[in-house]
Structure 1
């Protein structure tokens, strides 16, 4: 059961990676939610003993390699967000779905601000308010991601 649970969680993260890399029209691209981080946050809330900082760090490295970004930026930012999520999972689970969505939006905002800050020091970019639009899109998508992955977890009995 242990190995199959890790494979099923890995499959959902892989699907999120595919969605993150899938091309979108230029008019929609600035609003692309952070699928991988949303999926990792769900799993860190649902099964924090299985998905933790190790998953976040490795998935962040894969994202860095796939996106061609500076190596370690996604790893660090994913790890910070998953640490906060996993360390407070008992509190966050008790919130309603809309309260969770608001909190997830704050975590996604933190993720984007940390990414901007790291990239500002590494490759000298400047802040643009468009950087935070995916946080709002992720907040809107959270209830559907939560419900879909909960159904997936219950169907395959991932514990």
Structure 2
């Protein structure tokens, strides 16, 4: 079955599509960090296949798709995935709900680096609305975790 060779790439592509999918303004404030969540799962499950390099490339794709300065999302995703990859063995032993808190902290780091870089480049002010995706990503983590784990086990991805 050749489909299993492209599962990781296709889940990252789906996350990129979900990241740029148009939403109503009220719902757009709560858009989860789809790419970060998918990268976090694959980094914890298969750290030898998904690592900082994959996060950097996914960040470049996000920069291109969102029209931001090249490298902003790359640096933010790479920093977050690096922290996760350095501690993946410890994080695997936590329950899914404890992992959701860790995902919230990773999303906080991601948004902190993202805001810091955008503030240096464009001098944008901080707004509390920047933090809503952290909470929606935390709430969404258990379902994404279970879905991707089921997919990985059914297709025996190693």
TM-score range, shorter chain: over 0.9
Q: Give unmatched runs, 5+ long, in structure 2.
A: none
Distance 2:60 2:152 in 1: 25
Q: Give unmatched runs, 5+ long, in structure 1.
A: none
Distance 2:122 2:145 in 1: 35
Distance 2:92 2:127 in 1: 33
Give the secondary-structure state (helix, strand or coil) at the position aligned to 2:29.
helix
- The answer (yes or no) to whether the contact 1:43–1:51 under 8 Å persists in 2 is yes
Partner of 1:120: 119
- The answer (yes or no) to whether the contact 1:6–1:50 under 8 Å persists in 2 is no
Could you state the TM-score of these two structures normalised by the residue count of structure 2? 0.97
How far the C-alpha of 1:8 sits from its partner, in A, is 1.2
Distance 2:4 2:132 in 1: 33
Distance 1:26 1:118 in 2: 24
2:28 pairs with 1:29: yes
Runs of 4+ in 1 over 4 A off after TM superposition: 3-6
Distance 1:27 1:36 in 2: 21
How far the C-alpha of 1:4 sits from its partner, in A, is 5.9
Could you state the TM-score of these two structures normalised by the residue count of structure 1? 0.96
How many residues were matched structurally? 158
**Aligned Cα root-mean-square deviation (Å):** 1.3
Partner of 2:45: 46
